[in-house]
Each structure stands twice: as structure tokens, then as C-alpha cells.
Chain A
Amino acid sequence: MSTVLRLLTSRWGPIITGLIIGVLAPLLVKWGNPGNMGICMACFARDIAGALGLHNAGVVQYIRPEIIGGLLGSFVAALVFREFRPRTGSAPLVRFLLGMFAMFGALVFLGCPWRAYLRLSGGDLNAVFGVLGLIAGIGIGIVFLKTGYSLGRNRPAPKALGWIMPAVMILLLVFLLVEPQFGRDAAGSPAGPVFFSEKGPGAMYAPIAVSLAVGLVIGFLAQRSRFCTVGAIRDTILLRDNHLLNGVLALIVAAFVTNLILGQFNPGFNGQPVAHTDGLWNFGGMVLAGLAFTLAGGCPGRQLFLAGEGDGDAAMFFAGMLVGGGFAHTFSIASSPAGVAAFGPATIIIGLVVCIVIGLTMRTASE
């Protein structure tokens, strides 16, 4: 056991983590999650936003236990291995904005980087444009990293700060299990405060205990191995260091094989689950997401696990994702299987401008 734990912090760590995610994610689909959506940080944050009434897209409202488990798994790993270090103060407001725009980009594509790779391994060829966009976005971010972009260093914070996100996750779990309802409005629709889809992707989910357990395992492994689906590409280009990339490749291969075995591999462009075929905006959405993730220092999964370790700035990024998930639907930004939404493309352009301004202006202030 201790050997396995030590392996996790070696070069093998991301590979082991990627393999396990690659097997578990398609299994979650088999057990009830939407197609090619075993794990998707953006989709799941959006579902949670909907469940909390931040948007009223009735088909995507559910409190996803994978997110709760992911953060708590990382929290436990950090506590056990003495890496629980509450900290904050590295431009939290900018991180909130980056989280929001990363979310807009991801929801125009219909998936975070995790799901981009999972869609690819399920045969969804639209994801090729998404992954290319992701690489392009990360490439733009690297230009800023090389020219002195930095959100500045964080500072140690009181222990209590690090307990806020785990407490929020426990509260979400209570909401999920109790399903509090304030009755029905005049039209007979549920009045909230928590909403759950009755049809659509939000009504497709694996059993709560299974989803939670998978989340816990992934959170634990990813905290130890620093698995990151954006850092993978960033480090390969910037540092010629492919140890994180190996993790992503392991994920894609494992998910591909698992999908084949489960009969979930359906190659093609049309009729893919929770996807659209607009190549330009599949690409564009992920350029924005990739840039925003790079400027924030990691993929949405990594942000979630950092928040579990006590990183208050990563928690702000996640809060931005939740709020962005709400706006993405109320402002008609998020795509649907029918195609891009009315304000999706315009939002991508605005988001790119905002991110470029952030990239150009955020420099470490001299002390």
C-alpha cells in the first residue's frame, strides 16, 4: 500500500490516476450518467448551478456527487499527507472572472477538458476540434506566462478558511439527500429551493453512493499525483516535460478500451450524446476555456482538488464556474445538441478579449 502511495507522487502518479479515471468514467456512463459524461467538471458545475436555482434550464439540474466526492477526496488526502495548507490572496477576483469565462467557453463546446478527452475516447470526432482549440488556448496562455504574467503569490490563511469548501460540499450532499422543497408555485411547478431535472441529461445519473465513491477515489489520487488536464499540455509545450501529459494519454487510452468493452464506442460526428457539430465554435469555445484555465494555473479538476487542499483562490475559480454556469443558460450562451446558442459566439469573443487584457495587465507588483 505504501509503495502504491509513493508511486503516486512519482512520474507514475499521473499515469495511474489517468488510467483509473479512464476506466471509471465510462463505467459511470454505464451506471447511469449521460453519454461520454462520466466525469465533466464544467457540465457538473452547471448541473449544480441549475439545482441551486442559478439557472432554470430544466434538463440540466442535479447536484453531482462526483464534484462533492472529488473535493472531499482531495481534502482527505491533503489532511492525511500534511498538505492541507489553507491559503489565499492571489488575485481572487481575477480567478473568479477566469472561472466564469472558462465555463462559458466549455459550455459552448459542451465539456471541460476532461470531457473533451472522454468524448474523443467515446468516438465523438467533434471533440477533435475541441482538443485542438484547447491546445491553441493553452498556447496563447503560455505566451503570457513567458512574458511575465502572474497572479502573484498567495499567503497562508487561518485553518478555518480551508474548511469552508469541504463544509459547502457536505451541505450540497445534504441538499442532494434531503431534496428540500418549499411546495409548488401557482402553475404547479416545484418552487425550489433545490431543483432536480425530470428529463434530459440532468435526470441521468449513476447511483449517488457510486458517484460519490468514484469522486472520492479520483479526488484522492489527483491530489497526490497533481493530475491536471491543462497542465499536461502546458508543461509539454513550455517545459518539454511530459509527465502530466502521460496521465492524460493514459486516461484517453483507458477510456477508449473501456468504452470498446462496454460497447460505448461509436465513432462519428453526428448524433453524439450531449454534443453539437459546429466545428468552428467547438474549437472557439475551447480556445477560450484553455486560455482561461492556463491563466488560472490548471484545469477545472485541478482547481477543485486545490480547493480541497485549502486553496481559497482555486475555490474562487470554482465559485466563478458555478455562477458562470448559471449565466451561461440565463444569457443563452451555453450550446445544446441543436447547436450553438444565440449569444455563444459573441461571448467567446468578449471572453477572449477579457482574458487577453488579464494576460497583458496582470504582472507581479513589486513589493
Chain B
Amino acid sequence: MLSRQALQKLSKGTLQVIVDNSTARENVSRIANSLGWEIDIEERSEGEIRLLLTK
């Protein structure tokens, strides 16, 4: 939800989103995808996933 608001405010650039579970990873990826962002996923320590969104 917050990620989408952030993505809609930015017309382009880079946004880093840190999520703590795979459901959130899928949700954020899906939203970013539908808004036309490139996604780079990095699994960090246990229970933390970093999504790098660029456009």
C-alpha cells in the first residue's frame, strides 16, 4: 500500500523496498510490474528481502 503510493509519486528513479515475507515480495513485485518498473530482488538475511525498483 505504502509502496504503491511512493511509486505513484515518483515518475522515475530508484526505490528500495524492504519486505519481511514472500507474500509481500510478490505483492510489491506485482504492483511495481503493473506500473512499469524494473525489479531487482535480493534475498538478504533470513526474513528480509530487498526489492530494488527502477524506472
Q: A351 to B55: give the CA distance in the assembly, Å.
A: 45
> Does any Cβ of A come within 8 Å of B34's Cβ?
yes
List A3-32 residues whose CB lies under 8 Å from chain B.
Answer: 9
> Does any Cβ of A come within 8 Å of B13's Cβ?
no
Interface string of A125-160 (1 = CB under 8 A from B): 000000000000000000001100000010010000
Interface size on B, residues (CB 8 A): 11
CB–CB A156/B47 < 8 A: yes
Interface string of B18-55 (1 = CB under 8 A from A): 00111100100011001000000000000100000000
Query: A205 to nearest B CB, angstroms?
Result: 32
Q: A239 to B31: give the CA distance in the assembly, Å.
A: 8
Closest B residue by C-beta to A82:
B22
Chain A residues lying within 8 Å of B20, measured Cβ to Cβ, are 153
Task: Indicate which residue in A83, A145, A239, A241 contacts B22 across the interface (CB closer than 8 Å).
Answer: A83
Check A241/B21 contact, CB under 8 A, given A85-B47, A145-B1, A156-B47: no
Query: B5 to nearest A CB, angstroms?
Result: 9
Decide if the interface of chain B is mainly helix, strand, loop or mixed: helix
Task: Indicate which residue in A9, A153, A239, A240 contacts B26 across the interface (CB closer than 8 Å).
Answer: A9
CB–CB B26/A241 < 8 A: no
Chain B residues lying within 8 Å of A146, measured Cβ to Cβ, are 1
> Does any Cβ of B come within 8 Å of A226's Cβ?
yes
Query: B26 to nearest A CB, angstroms?
Result: 7
Query: B53 to nearest A CB, angstroms?
Result: 15
Task: Indicate which residue in B22, B23, B30, B47 contacts A243 across the interface (CB closer than 8 Å).
Answer: B30
CB–CB A238/B34 < 8 A: no
Binding site for B on A (CB under 8 A): 9, 83, 85, 145-146, 153, 156, 226, 238-241, 243
In the complex, 16 of the A-B residue pairs with CB atoms within 8 angstroms, ordered by the A residue number, are A83-B21, A83-B22, A85-B21, A85-B47, A145-B1, A146-B1, A153-B20, A156-B47, A226-B23, A226-B26, A238-B1, A239-B4, A240-B34, A241-B30, A241-B31, A241-B34
